[in-house]
Amino acid sequence: MPEQPRREDLERPTLIELSEARAALPREIAPMRPRLAAEPFNSPDWLFELKWDGIRALLYADRGTVRLTDRHGGDLLTLVPELRDVRIPDGTLLDGEIIVCDGRGRPSYELLAARVGPKAARRGRGPYFVAFDLLYQEHRSLLGRPLADRRQRLAKGPFEGRRVLVPEHLEADGEPFFDVVAEYGLEGIVAKRREGRYVPGTRSSDWLKCFVTPRADVVMGALTIDGDRGAREILCGTVAEDGSLVYAGDAYVPPYLGTWLERSTRDFGSDASPFAGPLSLRAGLRWLQPRLVAIVEHAGEPGALAEARFRALRFDGRLDDCRADAPVPVPSGPPSGRSERPRLVVLHSLPL
């Protein structure tokens, strides 16, 4: 006669590590996003990575199917069909960015954006998917694990082919890393708290971005049009807490983009100002519906543009992205003294 289980065994609970439980990948997930740092800093509690001048994306591999979506869940494989054939292990979800690089291996949003539109100019090197975080592995969620553990798992791969890149990161030395990034003409760096968990959909101070040249996403509220060169200036807005559009300043449009921008925005014309407060009229003014997001570089404080210059349309942008962000200060200590390491991280990360 088989031995009967003891009563104490029946009453003993079975412990399950929920973070290790297998599950189907989520259909979509909103990526975690950084806030703005007041300035670069050094700290052993943080890891530092390159900031990639591309489109934020999520790469899924589930039951033999690969999906690539933007931060709002839209399909990106139509934009970069070269990534249809990437091979990553089943049950994997990667957070990263799509980039196209210039001849020196530097990511360029302009080269990537040139793929959109009737001409579909496919210039530059790439596209590549830069994987900087591992959210699911073997259908198991890693969202609750520390960043340092997720990065360690990510570095082990394996990711076949040349289209998926896993960049290196730097520990502790944010200031010298930022200096090298500026020297190479790159966008900036991102600092991430090494013990931080991944919280989807949040704009978190556990991730902080530092730009070499300050830039912002702004709502295009109007253009000034010159008959000879097209758009001359953009009237830029930021979204206030109550949802209204606040005028933030003008951004200069380079002459070589003036005609293209004027034509590209004709379908978004409006009879009235989208801004909450009154603005003085000026020659060649064309109001726009507040639906287009632009990337501008500037020399001012967040929310107050100075010497701003139009770079590109943010075709995956949303109005909610265009909010002024108060910079987050972080105490900085001395660098570790490993002066060669920041440069090596840059060189090993770029697809040279």
Enumerate the active-site residues.
Answer: 51
Q: Name residue 350's amino acid.
A: L
Query: Does residue 290 contact residue 1 with C-beta atoms inside 8 Å?
Result: no
Residues 6+ apart with CB under 8 A from 41: 174, 175, 191, 330, 331, 332
Tokens of 199: 């919280």
Query: Does residue 178 contact residue 345 with C-beta atoms inside 8 Å?
Result: no
DSSP classification of residue 32: P
Q: What number of other Cβ atoms are within 10 A of residue 198's Cβ?
A: 24
State how beta strands 203-211 and 33-36 pair. parallel
> Can you name the residues that pair with 69 across neighbouring β-strands?
58, 75
> Can you name the residues that pair with 119 across neighbouring β-strands?
none
Cα gap 334→174, rounded to integer Å:
10
Half-sphere exposure of 221 (CA within 13 A, CB side): 23
Cα gap 311→184, rounded to integer Å:
19
Q: Work out the angle at residue 214's Cα, subtended by the Cα atoms of residues 284 and 311, and round it to the nearest 5 degrees.
A: 45
The torsion of the CA quartet 31, 40, 329, 197, rounded to 10 degrees, works out to 30
Query: Does residue 160 contact residue 79 with C-beta atoms inside 8 Å?
Result: no
